[in-house]
Structure 1
C-alpha cells in the first residue's frame, strides 16, 4: 500500500503555519492559567498505564492538526496491515508480527472470525513454542541444583530479558541468580563466571542464527570453562534460543526453542528470547506479561486516534522532532527496578527509526528519531537534570512512576514520588532570578506515565505502548521501522580487521585505521 509521507500532506503545511503562528512561542504556564480543564483534556487511561500529556507544548489546535496528519498518512491502514500479517517490512519482504507472540490462543471457530484470521497457522506455532518454553522454564525453576542462569546474547537478545528480569525482581523465584553477558569484552564473561560453578549453572545461548559473533564467542568460552571445570553434560547445562537447530546440535545442545523471521530482535522479548524472564517469574507470570502487552495491542488496534495513547505519543514525537527541532528525549523511570528501561528503549527507538531514507530509498528532507537517553530518578537529578533545567537546549523528558511501592521501608516511596512530581513541576514553572545563575526559564516539556503497580502485566503494557509509539512516528516519516542495515557495515569490516591485528597487515586501510592498528598490536 502506497502511503503519503508526512511532508507531502496538506496537514504538514497547516502544522507549519500553526507552529509559526503560535506553536513555537507556546507557554505552558499561560495554558494552564487559561484552561482549568487542561489536565483532564490532555491525560488519559490506557491499559495499565495512566498518561498525563498536559505539560507538553501542545494545544487543542495542534493536536487536531497532528491527528489530521495521521489520517492523511493513512496511519490506521498501515497499522491494520501490520495486524493482518502483511509484509510491511518492505526491504526484507517480511511481515511484522511481534504482537502475535502475545495473542491468546483462540478456539478454531473464533480464530477464523477474528482480526488475525490470516495468521492462524503462525499463531498455532507461537503457542506450541510458548507451551514448550514455559514447560522447560518450570523444570528449571524446580531444579534446586541449578543456582545460576546465565543469558548469553546481545542487542534484543539481551536488553529486553535483562530489563524485564530486573524490573520484575519482586516476582522472581528465590534460590537462583540471573546474569546477562552481551559484550565480547571477555572481562564481562569472566566476571560472571567467577561467581558461578559449572555443576550448578545453566547457560542460555540466545542467537536467532546461532552465528552472532559476540554471542558465539562468549558461548564457546563458556563451554570451555564448563568443560575445564569438570562439566560433562552439555545438554543439561546449555539451552539455545535459536532457529538454527543444526548448529545448536553441533555445539552439543539439544534443548532449543525457536522463533520466526517476522520477529525483529528488539521486539523478541515475548518469544523464546524471554526464557530467562519465564524462569525468573514462572509460566503464570510470563503469561501475565503477555496479557498486559496484548491489552495494549488491542487498545492501539481499536481505539479512536484521538484517544489512542500510542498514537498521541507518536504524534507528539513528530511535533517535537520536526517542528520544535528537539534532538533528544530523556527517559527518567522513578523506579530502581526499571533502571535498564532507558537502555532498552534506546534500541527500540533509535534502531527502529534512526533512518535517513524513506521506504522508496529516497533521502528524507527532515529529521527522524531523536537521541534517547536517561537514568533512573533520583540518580538523574544529581547528574544531568542541571542541563534539563538550565541548559541551552530544550530536552523533553518522560517520567515513569509507580504508585504503589514494592517494599515496606517507611518514607522512601513518598520521598521518591515527591521528587518526580517536583521535577515535572519545576521544569514547567521555572523560577525568575535577575542575577541569572539561579534563573530557571521553565516551560520545559514533560510527559508523565504512571503505573499503579509494577507487575508483569503492567510492564508488558508499558513496553507494548512504547513499541506502538515508535511504529506511529516511523509510519508518518515514511520509513521502514523494522530493518537495521546500519548495524551491518561495522560488523563486516571487523571481520577484515581482526586477522590484521594478528598479522599486522595494513594494506588498503585508511591512514587512521592503519595507524591505530599498529598502536594496538
Structure 2
C-alpha cells in the first residue's frame, strides 16, 4: 500500500541531514584514485547517454541513505501508480499520462470512455498522415503551392518545449536530409514578437499551429487574431493556413478557420507536452513523422529505466535523490543547466519551466504547509558562452550552485576546422572537462582574488552525438527526475496554481475593475 508522507517524517531524512559536508571533492578528485571514482560513479542511461556523478558530493554511505530514502518514500511504486492511471495530480484531481504518449509502461489506462494509449497513438498517426500530405504536395495553399514553413502560436509549455526540441534537431535534420520545413514560434503577447516573426516569413507558404488546450488562452488568442489579420492582409485564406492542437471539447473544434485539429487532453500538463500533439505537430511537419517517432522512442527507453528499483540502475531517480540531498542537506538554492551544445540553446529555458513550475510549491499534496525547502531555482546557458558570463559567480561567488553539464563527443553537422592542432569540437569538450575539475577542486593562490575555493558539485550527461533518440531520452530523464523529486517532497508536481493570480489581476486591469495599487500602477501605462 502506498502512503504519501512529508519528507521530514521519514527516518532516512534525518540520516541524510547528518551527512552534510561529509565529502570533499578536492580530496576524492585530487588524488591517485580519482580515475577509479570517475569510472565507478557512472550510470548508463537510455539511447546511449551516460550519467556521471563523480563530481557530486556523495559517497557510498550517502548513496546508501538515498537508496533507503527512495524505498521509504516508495518513489518507484508511486511512479508505477502514476503510469497505471491513478489520480496523482491532487490539485486538479487528474491522472498524469505524458509517459503514455510514448509507450505502454503498465496496464491499460481508460478515461473519457477510451483507451488512452490507443488515443495517443491515433493522434500521432493523424499528425503523421497530415504531415506526409503536406510534404508530398497533396495539401497545398490557395495558389496550389507547397508550404515551406510552419509557425507555432502558443505560450508556456506550448512554446518552450517544442521550441527547444526544434532548435535541438534543426542542424541534425539538415545534415541528415530530413529537414522538411523551417519553423518559427510566436509566444509573447507583446505585439513586437508576432510582428517580427511575420515579417521574416512568407505567410502565403506557412502553416500556423494554434496550441491551446481550452481554446480560450488570452495571450494565444490575442496572437491568433494578430496572425489571422496578417494572413488576410497578405491576400490569403485563413482556412488554408491554420491548424489547431486543442482538446476535443474546445471551441476551436469545427471552426471553419482551421483545416485540421489534433487533440490533447487534461492529463498532460503543458510543460510535459513535447511528446504529445503539442510537440508532435510542429516536429513532424519540420522534420518528418519518422524523426518524431525516433524522438518518442528515446523518451520511451528512458521511461523504462525509471521503473528500476535500484538507484544505480535508474539514472533519473539517482539524479533526483542527489538533487534532494543538495537542496535539503547541503542547502544549495539553485541548479545550473549547462549544455555544451549550441543545439540545446533553449533547453535550459524549457527545464526552468519544467522544474520550477512543477516543484515550486510550499504546501504538500493535501494543501498543508511544509517545513522544508523544495524545488531549486533553475537557470543556464550553453557553454562556452556561459563561461564568459555568469561562471564568475559560480566559481567565486558566496553561494554554491550545483551544476549539470550536458555534452557530446561529436557535433551535429560534421563541419569543423583544425586550429592549433585541435578541432572546435575538441576545444568544446576540453572546456567541459576543465570546468568540472576547476569547479570541484579549485586552486589556491597567494592572491585571494585569484583563489578558487572549489567544492562546486557537478554531474555530466554525455553521449556520442545529439540525435532525435538521445534528445527524447534526455527530455524524459529530466521529466522523470522532476517527478521523483516531487514525490520525495510530497508535493503535487502536476498543477501550477502559481501562474493563475497574475492572470486574474491582468483581466481585472483590462476590464477596469480595479482600485488601490492596481489602479495606481495602471495609470503608468494609460490603463
TM-score normalised by the chain length of structure 1: 0.93
CA distance in 2, matches of 1:29, 1:141: 55
CA distance in 2, matches of 1:174, 1:317: 37
2:38 paired residue number: 39
Matches within 5 A, 1:13-52: 13-19=14-20, 24-32=21-29, 33=31, 35=33, 37-48=36-47, 49-52=49-52
1:110 paired residue number: none
Matches within 5 A, 1:303-314: 304-314=310-320
CA distance in 2, matches of 1:320, 1:251: 53
CA RMSD of aligned residues (A): 1.7
Q: SS of 1:427's equivalent?
A: helix
- Kindly indicate whether residue 212 of structure 2 is the aligned counterpart of residue 207 of structure 1: yes
2:141 paired residue number: none
CA contact (8 A) 2:148 2:206 kept: yes
Matches within 5 A, 1:112-191: 115-119=106-110, 121-143=115-137, 145-169=146-170, 170-171=172-173, 173-174=178-179, 176-191=181-196
Per-residue CA deviations over 1:186-220 (Å, capped at 9, x if unaligned) read 00000011122332121100111111111110011
CA distance in 2, matches of 1:453, 1:283: 21
Greater shift in the superposed pair: 299-308 or 435-444: 299-308
Q: SS of 1:250's equivalent?
A: coil
Greater shift in the superposed pair: 239-248 or 151-160: 239-248
CA contact (8 A) 1:334 1:400 kept: yes
Per-residue CA deviations over 1:106-165 (Å, capped at 9, x if unaligned) read xxxxxxxx7223458111111111100111122223346212211100011111111111
Give the CA deviation at 1:445.
Answer: 0.7
Give the CA deviation at 1:488.
Answer: 0.7
CA distance in 2, matches of 1:303, 1:117: 22
CA contact (8 A) 1:248 1:254 kept: no
CA contact (8 A) 1:162 1:180 kept: yes
Give the CA deviation at 1:25.
Answer: 5.0
CA distance in 2, matches of 1:402, 1:251: 46
1:93 paired residue number: 93
CA distance in 1, matches of 2:19, 2:133: 60
1:78 paired residue number: 78
Give the CA deviation at 1:73.
Answer: 1.0
2:55 paired residue number: 55
Match of 1:482 among 494, 502, 517: 494
CA distance in 1, matches of 2:89, 2:82: 9
Per-residue CA deviations over 1:358-383 (Å, capped at 9, x if unaligned) read 01111110111100001000000000
Match of 1:241 among 240, 245, 265: 245
Q: SS of 1:11's equivalent?
A: helix
Q: SS of 1:399's equivalent?
A: strand
CA contact (8 A) 2:305 2:314 kept: yes
Give the CA deviation at 1:278.
Answer: 1.1
Give the CA deviation at 1:259.
Answer: 1.2
- Kindly indicate whether residue 415 of structure 2 is the aligned counterpart of residue 424 of structure 1: no
Per-residue CA deviations over 1:263-297 (Å, capped at 9, x if unaligned) read 11111111111111111121111110000000001
CA distance in 1, matches of 2:232, 2:491: 47
CA contact (8 A) 1:4 1:72 kept: no
Q: How many residues align?
A: 500
CA contact (8 A) 1:378 1:419 kept: yes
CA distance in 2, matches of 1:174, 1:39: 38
Per-residue CA deviations over 1:392-437 (Å, capped at 9, x if unaligned) read 1101111100112223212111111111111111111211112201
CA contact (8 A) 2:189 2:220 kept: yes
CA distance in 1, matches of 2:256, 2:90: 34
Give the CA deviation at 1:334.
Answer: 0.3
Give the CA deviation at 1:18.
Answer: 2.5
Match of 1:409 among 392, 408, 416: 416
CA distance in 1, matches of 2:342, 2:350: 15
Give the CA deviation at 1:306.
Answer: 3.2
CA distance in 1, matches of 2:228, 2:106: 45
- Kindly indicate whether residue 498 of structure 2 is the aligned counterpart of residue 491 of structure 1: no
Per-residue CA deviations over 1:314-364 (Å, capped at 9, x if unaligned) read 001110111111000001100000000000000100000000000111111
Q: List alignment gaps of at least 5 residues for structure 2.
A: 138-144, 418-422
Q: SS of 2:252's equivalent?
A: helix
- Kindly indicate whether residue 379 of structure 2 is the aligned counterpart of residue 367 of structure 1: no
Give the CA deviation at 1:175.
Answer: 6.2
- Kindly indicate whether residue 330 of structure 2 is the aligned counterpart of residue 329 of structure 1: no
CA contact (8 A) 1:67 1:306 kept: no
2:140 paired residue number: none
Q: SS of 2:398's equivalent?
A: coil
CA distance in 1, matches of 2:335, 2:437: 18
2:354 paired residue number: 348
Give the CA deviation at 1:174.
Answer: 4.5
CA distance in 2, matches of 1:73, 1:178: 43
